[in-house]
A and B are shown apart, each in its own frame.
Chain A
Amino acid sequence: MQQLLDRFIESRGWTGDWAIELVYFLGMLFFAVALLLVVVTPFTGIVSWAERRIAARMQSRVGPNRVGPQGILQWAADGLKCILKEDLIPEDADRILFTAAPYLVFCGLFGAFAVLPFSEHLVIADLDAGAFYVMAITSLVPLGIIMSGWASNNKWSLLGGMRSAAQIISYEIPAALSLLAVVLAAGTLSLQGIIRAQGWSPADWFLFRNPFLFTGFFYFFVANLAEGNRTPFDLPEAESELVAGYSTEYSGMRFAFFMLAEWANLYVVASVVNVAFLGGWNVPPIAEGVVLTILQMVVFAAKSLVLVFVIIWVRWTLPRLRVDQMMLLCWKYLVPLSFLNVLGTAVWMMIVPEGSAAGRVASWLLVLVGLSLSGLFGLRVRKNLKDADVGRLYLNPFS
């Protein structure tokens, strides 16, 4: 981004410190606002629509299909409705904390977008501690959630906030450890650097680099599901137990910000998994210049969107865990296993040097394992569909 602004300044022939500083500042402001208004808000809106449509399809319902073609503008209608609603604050609530919580939740997620890359040269801020920054800034979210839970002065909110905070901080450990294994293999914390350490072919991805990183991917993905409060870990907002969890007392636009953050989180999670394990924007060297950038953007977005779809799919497939099962899964399985992962990755890097023949063979073997796992899954789905008499269940999703 700095290069872009530098080129702009050069093309105008501007000199003098103040002019350059001003261009820098205005440029950054422009990029931030543009990203917010053009990418984040419409994207989260459309994801919220897509999730409802997919959920409806999976449950043989129709879902929102009235506003715009196939209901794709439903999010705009929802946003408008939320703005027009009266914003209530309970009489006994802690007003300061109650109003501050949406700010924290939204900042925590929007801040993460600053370091997420879109292509090789298209990144707002390529921090050299990028992976660390993402972990740190998204930690604002549990803070906001626990503040909202406490401030609402409502029993459901308090319990929801507590559960949410406990869950997010617990799963932070396996997530951080899995990321640690990636950092070991990449030798850098910068998200762009991590992507550059991988290649375009699946065998060069960290997912298939060695068996430990392969399993680490699943720990990281599950831990991130839990951190995003998604089913099967949606205990904080378990409708049947806690009404709406920490957001029970919120209404109007404040409530909308919690929802916005939840869906923005989907993209953040998918992108970070993509960067860390799936090779990010790496494409085969077949193009140059603008075409290359566009190709990279498409590849990165495609991988992320597939992951977003998987997250939605998981949510509408699996039932919710119990709170003790969730803690058991985290502390007694994921944490020890991801500890072993870090050590295993270090040992693997020592005995199988990078780029050696043995390493290549292992990578391709892991690719085969991955392919056969998905193949088995596909066969299983086919068998289930056959058994389930789809003809009776079928409902045209585009009706």
Chain B
Amino acid sequence: MLFDLANVVVFLAVALGFVWATLLASRLIQPRAPGGDKGLTYECGELPVGAGRIQFNFRFYILALIFLVFEVEIAFVFPVAVVFREWLESGRAATAFAEIFLFIGILFLGLVYLWRKGELSWHKEEPEAEDVPSVR
């Protein structure tokens, strides 16, 4: 097991080394002629307008939060899933299933809640303001 883990570390080191060595080789043989408009960012051939880091849709942020909750909880279900078979064979099926069901059920409730709140739609439909007098 430790051998396998060490193997993975060596693997990642080799990957880093490969990228580094290739970039170095490229750096040694490539032509370098800095200056001009090369340093500008590409914006359809026009001069870039304003900063590159523009405001982006707020939904990305909410999506990341939802993801975090779900992913962490799924990670917690994995250990139960691994022992589920053993428990089934040793006759503790009801307990094992109850545990999984409880966990998944709570997660699913969370999904239903988000759905009802409208957080899962890319275009969230805002409730119409009622106190605005209609223009008629």
Query: A residues engaging B (CB < 8 A)?
Result: 1-2, 24-25, 28-29, 31-33, 36, 82-93, 102-103, 106-107, 110-111, 113-115, 124-128, 132-133, 150, 152-159, 162, 165-166, 169-170, 172-173, 176-177, 180, 183-189, 243, 248-249, 252-254, 257, 323-324, 327-328, 331-332, 335-336, 339, 342-343, 346-347, 349-350
Contacts and interface: CB of A to CB of B under 8 A. Distances in A.
B32 to A, nearest CB: 6
Contact of B41 (A154, A185, A188): A154
Contact of B54 (A89, A152, A155, A176): A155
A92 B122 contact: no
Nearest to B62: A166
Interface in B55-90: 56-57, 59-60, 63-64, 67, 70-71, 74-75, 77-78, 81-86, 88
B134 interface: no
A343 B29 CA distance: 58
Contact of A154 (B30, B52, B57, B101): B52
A127 B84 contact: no
Interface in B36-60: 38-44, 48, 51-54, 56-57, 59-60
Nearest to A37: B18
Given A1-B7, A111-B12, A342-B104, 12 more contacts: A84-B26, A89-B39, A92-B52, A106-B15, A125-B11, A127-B4, A150-B53, A157-B52, A184-B100, A257-B19, A332-B115, A339-B104
Nearest to A324: B122
A324 B121 contact: yes
B92 to A, nearest CB: 11
14 contacts: A2-B3, A24-B6, A32-B11, A83-B22, A83-B26, A84-B31, A106-B15, A110-B11, A125-B5, A158-B52, A184-B100, A253-B26, A328-B120, A331-B115
A113 B11 contact: yes
A350 B15 contact: no
B116 interface: no
A327 B7 contact: no
A107 B20 CA distance: 11
Contacts of B107: 339
Contact of A87 (B14, B27, B97, B122): B27
B113 to A, nearest CB: 13
B81 A184 contact: yes
Contact of B11 (A124, A154, A324, A336): A124
Contact of A327 (B64, B81, B122): B122
Nearest to A126: B4
The list of the 6 closest CB pairs from A to B, nearest first, reads A187-B85, A324-B122, A91-B39, A153-B52, A125-B4, A110-B15
B58 to A, nearest CB: 11
A173 B123 contact: no
Contacts of B67: 169-170, 172-173
Interface string B112-131: 00010000111100000000
A115 B1 CA distance: 12
A83 B95 CA distance: 59
A142 to B, nearest CB: 10
Given A28-B7, A90-B40, A170-B67, A33 B111 contact: no
Contacts of B12: 107, 110-111
Given A336-B111, A342-B104, A349-B88, A173 B70 contact: yes
Given A88-B39, A327-B122, A158 B11 contact: no
A112 to B, nearest CB: 9
A228 B59 CA distance: 22
B105 to A, nearest CB: 8
Given A83-B22, A86-B30, A127 B5 contact: yes
Given A36-B14, A249-B41, A257-B19, A173 B71 contact: yes
A86 B28 CA distance: 10
Contacts of A88: 38-39
B26 A87 contact: yes
B135 interface: no
Contacts of B39: 88-92
